[in-house]
């Protein structure tokens, strides 16, 4: 009997050890799976999204969109741009390159090229041909962006096996994030076409799935009535629907719901009107979901990158302003589109197999006329008046009306041929102009190119201006205006400053490789790309100045 019991206990011990071994192996496999690279990275940029749109409309969001990212992911609540100007082109470039305009070179959406003596567009490229259209809207590429994106580095790391695809209504919102080595970038051409297009920089012709999407009635289906998605009486987080601070559409006398887009499209550039409504975000989500499926993104062991920029929020903000019912409805609808995108990722790639970050390219200021109506200092800059005043001063001081070659993006560019003709020292003229313009109404500060290139600033607006100053591309004098004073019309809103309303934007991390939580520690936009590079184990973008956010990573 003792022998039987002895054998029984031996067998039991062996069995337990085997089970422990299996459990340990399973644990190792589980740990390996948790720590493995994502099969797909999705970068989401919401154009003109202030941070407080997360909190202001929080109770109006469902569980599967913004709130899913906030509550199941990591929320960086004190995230800022660390440079000016806060525009779309520089914003998208900075998110994905991990640096500022000082290094990546995208100093605006448009800027004055001192070498060729004319304005250039950040994504414009006459050396390429349109694909999917004959319109010049297809003559675009990332050739003016000087540095790599983290998507470029992932492509290099995977020997080009990992795909990169960029998608946005705006060409610059698709092209700059995707980087130089992308498989494709697609943007929406409205007018009378309503089609997703590209350029010969990426391909010779559109893939079949894109042509099929364009041939469908998807764009046409969004030329419909835009009314609030929920009863407008419940929109207590925004101002009155009818007010004096909104632009609206041609063909409708008031800027109030509802809007019949099919009728209004006739006077508002055809399919382009879709961009200026929440349905522009919806068709972007439609197209992105189709790209995930058709391109088989996240289906193999080489990480793919999908960049998606939702641009309609910017168009609506410019038209109606921060406090409008239209902007609230746009974000409530975007919440549902983000849910659709996340649900598609769950179905096509699988939970735990993908990683997402969501941020913005800039914020926006409340309509200055609205702020003034509540006794908050705000107003408008008259650029034409300021330029005329400066021209008269230079005529009086130097007997020349040609010393200034261009004024744009709050910068003054000198005419160096005229300086040479008059035998004037450029630095002396810069200083003279600075001393003149600093006295103009609502000019808060001004700096010369000499100062920006020779003095190192590490605090305040001076640091932000310096981070946005590119010695080869920026102007001779940089002007900074008072808070909430903008060069814009009296309705709708804009952006571009270094103030909190323009710099404070969301930053959410979710999915494979990220922990759950939040922080009030300050983070800056250039930190995003190094964080994504660290997650993927690839080289940082070659000009990156940001640092990986180790507290968001597992």
φ/ψ of 421, rounded to 5, equals -65, -40
Contact 326, 320 (CB under 8 A): yes
Give how far Cα 120 sits from Cα of 117, 169, 413, Å. Answer: 9, 20, 14
User: What 8-state DSSP symbol labels residue 28?
Assistant: H
Distance CA 198, CA 185 (A): 6
Active site residue 545: no
φ/ψ of 523, rounded to 5, equals -125, 160
Annotated catalytic residue within 86, 88, 147, 307: 88
Say which residues have a Cβ less than 8 Å from residue 260's Cβ, sequence separation at least 6: 225
Give how far Cα 288 sits from Cα of 199, 292, 295, 537, Å. Answer: 18, 6, 10, 26
Peptide bond connecting 338 to the previous residue in cis, omega within 30 degrees of 0: no
Q: In 276-324, which ranges are continuous DSSP H helix?
A: 279-294, 312-320
Contact 525, 546 (CB under 8 A): yes
Distance CA 448, CA 429 (A): 10
Distance CA 216, CA 320 (A): 31
Say which residues have a Cβ less than 8 Å from residue 296's Cβ, sequence separation at least 6: none
Catalytic residues: 88
């Amino acid at each position: 009997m003792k022998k039987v019991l002895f054998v029984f206990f031996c067998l039991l011990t062996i069995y337990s050890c085997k089970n422990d071994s299996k459990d340990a192996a399973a644990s190792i496999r589980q740990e390996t799976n948790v720590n493995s690279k994502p099969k797909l990275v999705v970068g989401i940029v919401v154009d003109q999204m202030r941070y407080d749109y997360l909190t202001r409309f929080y109770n109006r969001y469902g569980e599967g969109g913004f709130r899913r990212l906030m509550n199941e992911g990591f929320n960086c609540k004190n995230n800022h741009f660390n440079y000016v100007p806060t525009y779309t082109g520089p914003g998208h470039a900075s998110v994905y390159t991990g640096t500022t305009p000082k290094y990546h070179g995208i100093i605006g959406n448009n800027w004055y090229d001192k070498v060729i003596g004319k304005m250039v567009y950040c994504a414009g490229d006459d050396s390429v041909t349109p694909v999917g259209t004959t319109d010049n809207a297809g003559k675009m590429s990332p050739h003016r962006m000087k540095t790599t994106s983290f998507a470029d580095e992932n492509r290099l790391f995977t020997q080009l096996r990992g795909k990169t695809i960029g998608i946005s209504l705006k060409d610059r919102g698709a092209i700059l994030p995707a980087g130089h080595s992308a498989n494709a970038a697609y943007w929406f051409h409205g007018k009378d076409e309503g089609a997703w297009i590209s350029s010969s920089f990426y391909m010779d012709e559109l893939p079949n799935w894109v042509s099929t999407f364009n041939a469908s009635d998807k764009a046409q289906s969004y030329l419909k009535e835009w009314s609030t998605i929920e009863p407008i009486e419940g929109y207590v987080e925004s101002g009155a629907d009818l007010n004096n601070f909104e632009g609206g559409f041609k063909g409708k006398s008031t800027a109030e719901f509802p809007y019949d887009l099919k009728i209004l499209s006739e006077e508002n550039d055809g399919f382009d009107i879709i961009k200026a409504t929440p349905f522009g975000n919806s068709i972007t989500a439609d197209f992105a979901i189709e790209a995930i499926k058709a391109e088989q993104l996240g289906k193999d062991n080489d990480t793919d990158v999908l960049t998606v920029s939702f641009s309609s929020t910017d168009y609506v903000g410019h038209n109606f302003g921060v406090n409008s019912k239209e902007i609230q409805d746009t974000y409530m609808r975007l919440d549902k589109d983000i849910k659709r995108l996340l649900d598609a990722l769950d179905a096509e790639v699988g939970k735990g197999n993908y990683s997402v970050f969501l941020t913005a390219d800039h914020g926006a200021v409340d309509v200055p006329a609205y702020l003034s109506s509540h006794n908050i200092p705000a107003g408008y800059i008259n650029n034409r008046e300021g330029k005329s005043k400066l021209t008269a001063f230079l005529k009086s001081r130097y007997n020349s009306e040609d010393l200034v070659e261009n004024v744009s993006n709050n910068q003054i560019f000198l005419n160096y041929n005229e300086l040479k003709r008059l035998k004037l020292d450029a630095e002396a003229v810069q200083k003279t102009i600075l001393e003149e313009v600093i006295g103009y109404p609502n000019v808060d500060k001004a700096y010369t190119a000499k100062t920006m290139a020779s003095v190192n600033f590490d605090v305040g607006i001076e640091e932000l201006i310096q981070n946005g100053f590119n010695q080869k591309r920026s102007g001779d004098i940089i002007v900074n205006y008072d808070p909430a004073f903008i060069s814009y019309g009296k309705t709708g809103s804009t952006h571009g400053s270094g103030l909190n309303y323009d710099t404070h934007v969301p930053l959410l991390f979710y999915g494979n490789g990220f922990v759950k939580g939040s922080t009030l520690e300050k983070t800056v936009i250039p930190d995003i790309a190094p964080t994504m590079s660290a997650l993927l184990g690839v080289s940082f973008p070659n000009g990156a100045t940001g640092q990986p956010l180790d507290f968001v990573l597992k």
